Structure 1
Amino acid sequence: MSDEDLASRAPESDAQEDAQTKSGIPGDTKPDQGAASMGEHCTNDRPTPAYLGTPTGEITKFNDTDVYITKPADYPHTSAKLLLLLTGGTGIHSKNNQLQADKYAGEGFLVVMPDQFANDPAPATSTSTAPANANPSMIEQVKLAVATTAKSFSIDMWLARHTPEKVLPILHRVLTSVKEEFADAAGNGVYAVGYCFGAKYVLLLGSKLHMDVAQGQRAPESQAEEGMMKQGTQIKAGAIAHGTLIAKEDLAGVRVPMCVVAVEDDPMFPDNVREEGVKALQEKGVEHEVSVYAGVPHGFAVLGDYEDEKIVEQQGKAYEQMLGWLKSH
């Protein structure tokens, strides 16, 4: 894919650039060395495109978990496919995430977007929308450094509350309920799409996990007991965009067709992790498609407005790629 022009500077990140490492794309930042593997685009919404209007779905409960449900306009008079949509840290109350779900519903999917975080979305990383001082004083630099450390700490604490041991049981309970409620849509299998934080869990649901991992009793990377049975894959096919917290083993374990949208030189989904994971998929003969987008920030595929039209264009391309993959399977 050809390189794109640099994105326009995102005002919410201007004041952070002296305290964080720049990614090379204005408006984007890398996490500091040793900081949590989530960045600003994982925890903050972009401005919502005005033309998209108001979300059309509703929030209800399935197995004591809040879920945003959105359906095709003509459902149930015409058939639909059941799609599990897993968000980044902004969660199900984000207008952008709800509108993203609505877009898939408009293409014939009955979309289930569960609250993976039990009403505890990621803390926003922005602390200021004021323009950055071109020559900050020493005091200002210290304040920025302190703010960055505090943000990294709050994200680390949040991530410690939302591990696979906590998230996987939530997803399994929701899936059990919605497959019963929408048995017609689930009859051909469950499809899944995941952005940022949610991408890892699409990979895990597309893998054969040991039963204790699926039930939240053990971390996926820890040693399994001898003879521990495995649970079958929970989805038919999946698509992910610019994942975070993904290990090569997460990709290597996938056993269902998987589409991967990645960002070039993304510190939150490093090239070596993606390449080693994809190599394992190739060796195991798992159907997959990988596209690496250049000149876009991490989080670009999540619905939201950018001043740079080239990023908006790539956002549309990523959506069409993921939609096409799901429809073709």
Structure 2
Amino acid sequence: MYLIFLIPPVSPSHLNQSLKLADKIAAAGFLVVVPDFFYGDPIIDYNDPNFDVKSWGKVHNPDKGYEDAKAVIAALKSKGVSAIGAAGFCWGGMVLVKLASSTDLRAAVVLHPGSITEDEMLKFTVSDVKIHIAILGAEIDQWSPPEKLKQFGEKLLAKSDFDSFVKIFPGVAHGWTLRYNVDDESAVKSAEESHLDMLNWFTKYVK
């Protein structure tokens, strides 16, 4: 059984597109799960003056997401799933960077991850990564600038045991793979290209 699980962004505004993407992956022959790592408590509106982002982040931090994801993986393996891949978006990308240090996954795709520290990047790329990993980034991204993702790529290439792939998509901003205007032909094309890159990666290394 080949399974992919999606670690979504923090906002429910992405949910509809996340579920459509899950259907697209399933149509390619994978079983797909989309766990709720926020337990019904996503960020509704970043611009709400009454919303305390820092307090929310303390409760829903990537370390907690990592532990929750490990529990999901263990549950799936207990059901007989033999090969697992994962895709992480924004906050989920930060979680997936941590999961890359485990052999529980066969492959991962990180899409426009949230902010990752230099220490985390160094630890991840130099010593800890144990799976094939693709990183898809945006040209316009304050959280994960292209320069930082390219540094990831350079360090990953030095690890010959595992395949890696970094691609920066021109003219798009953070979140473009899920948060895009369906009436914008260019935006749809960029999003669909990222989806195809992700599917090709999973087909190559998970199936």
- For Structure 1 versus Structure 2, the TM-score category normalised by the shorter chain is 0.7 to 0.9
Query: Which residue number in structure 2 is paired with residue 308 of structure 1?
Result: 184
Give the Cα–Cα distance (whole angstroms) in 1 for the partners of residues 13 and 92 of structure 2. 12
Give the whole-Å Cα distance in 1 for the aligned partners of 2:14 and 2:89.
15
Q: Displacement, 1:99?
A: 1.9
Residue 121 of structure 1: how far off its partner (Å): 1.0
Match of 1:176 among 74, 79, 91: 74
Q: Identify, as 1 or 2, the structure richer in strand.
A: 2
Measured after TM superposition, the shift of residue 90 of structure 1 is 2.6
**Residue ranges of structure 1 left out of the alignment (5+ in a row):** 1-79, 127-146, 208-231
Q: Contact between 1:91 and 1:115, CA under 8 Å: does it hold in 2?
A: no
Residue 273 of structure 1, CA deviation = 2.4
**Deviations along 1:197-231, whole A, 9 cap, x unmatched?**
11112221111xxxxxxxxxxxxxxxxxxxxxxxx
| Correspondence 1:136-147 to 2 at 5 A | none
What does residue 283 of structure 1 align with? 158
- Given that residues 263 and 296 in structure 1 are in contact (C-alpha distance below 8 angstroms), is that contact kept between their aligned partners in structure 2? yes
Q: Report Cα offsets for 1:273-297 as digits up to 9, x if no partner.
A: 2132222212222311111111112
Residue 35 of structure 1 aligns with which residue?
A: none
Find the aligned partners of 1:275 and 1:301 in 2 and give their Cα distance.
19
Partner of 1:240: 110
Matched residue type, 1:116: F
Residue 328 of structure 1 aligns with which residue? 204
Distance (whole Å) between structure 2 residues aligned to residue 116 and residue 263 of structure 1: 24
Kept in 2: contact 1:100–1:303 (CA 8 A): no
Aligned residue pairs total: 199
* Distance in 2 between residues matched to 1:161 and 1:191, nearest whole Å: 26
| Structure 2: runs of 5 or more not aligned | none
Q: Quick one: distance in 2 between partners of 1:312 and 1:93?
A: 15
Q: Return the offset for 1:263.
A: 0.5
1:261 — aligned with what?
136
Question: Aligned AA for 2:174?
Answer: H
**Secondary structure at 1:264 match in 2:** strand
- Match for residue 20 of structure 1? none
Match of residue 53, structure 2, among 142, 147, 155: 155
CA RMSD of the aligned region, Å? Answer: 2.2
Q: Distance in 2 between matches of 1:102 and 1:265?
A: 28
Q: What's the offset of the Cα at 1:256?
A: 1.0
Q: What is the CA–CA distance in structure 1 between the aligned matches of 2:63 and 2:176, rounded to whole Å?
A: 28
TM-score (norm 2): 0.86
Other-structure match for 2:146: 271
**Does structure 1 residue 117 correspond to structure 2 residue 38?**
yes
Relative to structure 1, the CA distance from residue 179 to residue 122 in structure 2 (aligned partners, 3 Å threshold; closer, same or farther) is same
Instruction: Tell me, yes or no, if the aligned pair for 2:153 and 2:165 is still in contact at 8 Å.
Output: no
TM-score normalised by structure 1 residue count: 0.56
Cα gap change, 1:91 to 1:201, in 2 (>3 Å): farther
Task: Report the CA distance between 1:247 and its aligned residue.
Answer: 3.0
**CA deviation digits over 1:213-270, x for unaligned, max 9?**
xxxxxxxxxxxxxxxxxxx422110112111122343451322111111001411102
Are the structure 2 counterparts of residues 276 and 111 from structure 1 closer, same or farther at C-alpha, using a change threshold of 3 Å? Answer: same
Greater helix fraction, Structure 1 or Structure 2: 2
Q: Which has the larger radius of gyration?
A: 1
Q: Deviation of residue 319 (structure 1)?
A: 0.5
Question: Identity of counterpart residues, as a percentage?
Answer: 26
- Deviation for aligned residue 1:94: 2.3
